[in-house]
Amino acid sequence: MENKNEMDFQALKMLFVELWDKHRGKMIGIISGLLLGILVLTLGFWRAIFICLCIFIGYLVGKMVDEKVVDFREVVQRIIKNR
């Protein structure tokens, strides 16, 4: 029985990898839409929008750090130093 479950998991994993490779943007859109819908239903529209805005700002900061546009440690040190 365990072997069949392992084969099912491997088949599902291969399907996911194939879908991710061929339809990455669609999958990101579907997952994002699903998460936004759940947030709106559980928290309300404005709270969900606020959370999405915070996620987007975090994404932009992370992208700048990844691309070495800004040194995150330096920014944190400046903030702490000014207090």
The per-residue pLDDT for 2 is: 62
The set of residues, in sequence order, having a beta carbon less than 8 Å from that of 63 and lying 6+ positions away, is none
CA pseudo-torsion sign 51, 56, 61, 63:
positive
The per-residue pLDDT for 30 is: 87
3-state SS class at 83: coil
The per-residue pLDDT for 75 is: 74
Question: Do residues 48 and 36 lie in contact, with contact meaning Cβ atoms separated by under 8 Å?
Answer: yes
**How confident is the prediction along the chain (83 residues), in pLDDT tens digits per residue?**
567 777 788 889 999 899 888 988 888 888 888 999 999 999 999 999 999 999 998 888 878 878 877 777 787 787 788 76
**Nearest by Cα to 72 from 53, 51, 52, 58:** 58
Q: Give the global pTM.
A: 0.60
Q: Distance between CA 51 and CA 6 in Å, rounded?
A: 37
